Chain A
Amino acid sequence: MKVYLDNAATTRVAQEVVEAIEPFNSQKYGNASSLHSFGQDAKEALENARKLLAKRINAEPDEIVFTSGGSEANNLAIRGMAQINGFGHIITSKIEHPAVLQTCKDLEKQGFEVTYVGVDAQGRVDLKSLESSIKDHTFLVSIMHVNNEVGVIQNIAEIGKVCSDRKVVFHTDAVQSFTKIPIDVKNMNIGLASFSAHKLHGQKGIGMLYVRKGIKLKNQITGGEQEFKIRAGTENVAGVVGFAKASEILTQEDITRMSNLKKHLRQELLNISDTKINGPDDGLCNILNVSFRYIEGESILLRLDAEGVAVSTGSACSSANLAPSHVLIAMGLEHEAAHGSIRFSLSKYTTKEEINYTVKCARTVVIELRKISPLTPRGDKNV
C-alpha cells in the first residue's frame, strides 16, 4: 500500500485542476498582454480567476498579485515594504517559514531591525509580547496564519486588530490555511497575505499576494507592466486558472473528514508508549506532529517509506545544517524530542484504510528502531 501523508509539503494536483488547466496549454495559450484573440482569451481567463480568488478572501480583484508561489509572495511582501520604507523595524515570530525568516535575517544584514517574538509550548504567539514589541518606527508585523510543521493556528483577527490600532501593516503567510480555514482580509485587518496553489491540489510554482489598496511595495522582479506593475513577467495563465479551480475543491465535509481522521490517527499513535503530540489539539485539520522517544526521525521516515508511507521529520539529522526544527525548539522541546519528531499531513483524498495501515506500520517501525536504540530503557514494554 502506498500512503501519502506529506500534504503540508505538497499535494496531488486534483483531476478537476488538470482538466481546467488543459485548454490553456493546448488551445488558449496566448500571452495575456497580446491584443489578438489568443491573448484576449487568456486575459479573460486570468481576470476571471483573479476575481474568484479575490472573492475567496473578501478582497478586490485589483488587490491580487500573482507570483511564482508562497516564497515569492513572502519576499515581495516583506522586501517590498522594507524597500519602500528604507529603514525601520519589523516584527515576526520564531516559528515562521524560512521564506519569511531568512528574508528578515537578510534585511537585518541590510540594517533593518527585526524582533522575533517567541511562542508558548503549543506554538501560540504571545499577543502581549507582540504588542509591546511595537515601536514608533515599526512598519510591518508578519505572523503566519498556520504553522506548516505543527499546525498551530494563530489568532490573526486579534493580531490584525492590534496592528490596525497601532497603524502598522499586518502581513500573514496563509499558505497552509487557505481553503481550510476561512480568511477575510477586510474584517481581519490584513494588509498583505501570501498564498500558494500547490498546498491545495493546484500546481507548484503559482501563488499570490494580497496587497491592500494603498499599500506600496517595491517590485522585486522588474520588467514588463504585468500585475499592476508590481510583478513583471508573462502571466502563468494555466497556473492561475488551476489555482482558482483548486480554491474551490475543498468542501466542509472534506474538512470534517480530515479532522476526524487526524483525531483517529492521534489517538492510535498515542497508544504507542512514550509518544507525545507536538502542537495544540485544536490545530489545522490535516497536520499532526508526533515525537517518538528514544529514536530518530530520519530513520523513522525511511523505514516508513520502505513500507510505502510518506511523512516528514523535524530531526536535526535530516536537515542540511544538522540543526533540529526551529519551530519545535521555539516551542521548548528538548533536542531529543525534536529528534524523534514526525509530521503526518493528510489531504481530502486520505482514507481510513490508509490511516489504519499507517498506524500499523508506525507501531512496527517504532518498536524495531527502539530495539536498535541505546536510549530505550531496558525492559521497555513496547520492545
Chain B
Amino acid sequence: MYSKEILDRFKNPKNVGEIKSPDAYGKVGNIACGDIMELFIKIDAGKITDIKFKTFGCAAAIASTDVLCDVVKGKTVDEALKVSKKDILAVMGDVPPVKVHCSVLATEALQEALKKYQSKQSTGSK
C-alpha cells in the first residue's frame, strides 16, 4: 500500500525530537482521524538551521513530517513558506488517496510556525 520511500522514512525518521526554546513552533491537529503534529524550528539570520518534529499518527503522517523537515532545512524563512503540499507529495512518491490528508498536514504546521515567527519579528518582540 505504501511506497518504499514512505516505509523507509517511517521506519527511520531522521528529524524526530524537540528543540529547547525554538525560534518558531507550530502545532496542528487533524479532525479527520485525530493525528497531531508539532514542529520545532531554529532560525539563524533568516535561515532555518535546524528543525525537529513530533507526530502522533499513521506511517504517512510520520514520514511526511520527516520529509518536510529535510525539505526546509537550510532554506530561508521566505523560501520555506513557499514549500507547498505538492512539493511534499512529490518527495513521498505514491501516496494512497486516503493518506493525502495527513501527508500534507505538516505544511500547515510549518506555515503556522513561520507566520507566527514573522509577526513576532515585525513587532520586534523576539
Q: Which of A's residues lie within 8 Å of B, judged by CB?
A: 294-296, 298-299, 302-303, 306, 315-318, 320, 322, 335-336, 339, 371-375
Instruction: Report the separation of the CA atoms of residues A299 and B36 in the bound assembly, to the nearest whole angstrom.
Output: 14
Q: Does B57 contact A (CB under 8 A)?
A: yes
Please, which residues of chain B bring their CB within 8 A of the CB of A339? 33-34
Please, which residues of chain B bring their CB within 8 A of the CB of A316? 33-34
- The reply to whether B32 and A374 contact each other, CB–CB distance below 8 Å, is no
Q: Which of B's residues lie within 8 Å of A, judged by CB?
A: 2, 7, 10-11, 13, 16, 27, 32-38, 54-59, 61-62, 98, 101-102
Instruction: Report the separation of the CA atoms of residues A135 and B56 in the bound assembly, to the nearest whole angstrom.
Output: 46
For residue A47, give the distance in angstroms from its CB to the closest CB of chain B.
43
- The reply to whether B98 and A322 contact each other, CB–CB distance below 8 Å, is yes
A372-B16, A374-B36, A375-B36 known; A295 vs B56 contact (CB < 8 Å) = yes
Instruction: Report the separation of the CA atoms of residues A122 and B25 in the bound assembly, to the nearest whole angstrom.
Output: 41
17 CB contacts below 8 A, A to B, read A298-B59, A299-B57, A302-B2, A315-B33, A316-B33, A317-B35, A317-B57, A335-B34, A336-B34, A339-B33, A372-B54, A372-B62, A373-B55, A374-B55, A374-B56, A375-B36, A375-B56
Tell me whether chain B's interface is mostly helix, strand or loop, or mixed: mixed
Please, which residues of chain A bring their CB within 8 A of the CB of B16? 371-372
Instruction: Report the separation of the CA atoms of residues A317 and B11 in the bound assembly, to the nearest whole angstrom.
Output: 17
Please, which residues of chain A bring their CB within 8 A of the CB of B37? 374
Instruction: Report the separation of the CA atoms of residues A212 and B16 in the bound assembly, to the nearest whole angstrom.
Output: 60
For residue A6, give the distance in angstroms from its CB to the closest CB of chain B.
16
The winner among B10, B38, B56 for most chain A CB atoms within 10 A is B56
- The reply to whether A299 and B59 contact each other, CB–CB distance below 8 Å, is yes
Picked from B7, B10, B57, B98, the residue with its CB within 8 Å of the CB of A320 is B98
Instruction: Report the separation of the CA atoms of residues A373 and B13 in the bound assembly, to the nearest whole angstrom.
Output: 12
For residue B53, give the distance in angstroms from its CB to the closest CB of chain A.
8
Instruction: Report the separation of the CA atoms of residues A320 and B32 in the bound assembly, to the nearest whole angstrom.
Output: 12
A302-B10, A316-B33 known; A374 vs B38 contact (CB < 8 Å) = yes
Instruction: Report the separation of the CA atoms of residues A318 and B57 in the bound assembly, to the nearest whole angstrom.
Output: 10
For residue B31, give the distance in angstroms from its CB to the closest CB of chain A.
10
Please, which residues of chain A bring their CB within 8 A of the CB of B2? 302
Q: A302-B7, A322-B101, A372-B13 are in contact. List 9 more A-B contacts (CB 8 A).
A: A295-B56, A299-B59, A302-B10, A303-B11, A317-B102, A322-B32, A322-B98, A335-B34, A339-B33
- The reply to whether A296 and B98 contact each other, CB–CB distance below 8 Å, is no
For residue A317, give the distance in angstroms from its CB to the closest CB of chain B.
4
Please, which residues of chain B bring their CB within 8 A of the CB of A295? 56
The winner among B2, B33, B37, B101 for most chain A CB atoms within 10 A is B33
A317-B35, A322-B98 known; A306 vs B11 contact (CB < 8 Å) = yes
A322-B98, A335-B34 known; A372 vs B55 contact (CB < 8 Å) = yes
Picked from B11, B56, B58, B101, the residue with its CB within 8 Å of the CB of A373 is B56
Please, which residues of chain A bring their CB within 8 A of the CB of B57? 296, 299, 317
Picked from A299, A335, A371, the residue with its CB within 8 Å of the CB of B58 is A299
For residue A92, give the distance in angstroms from its CB to the closest CB of chain B.
27
Instruction: Report the separation of the CA atoms of residues A316 and B7 in the bound assembly, to the nearest whole angstrom.
Output: 19
Please, which residues of chain A bring their CB within 8 A of the CB of B33? 315-317, 322, 339
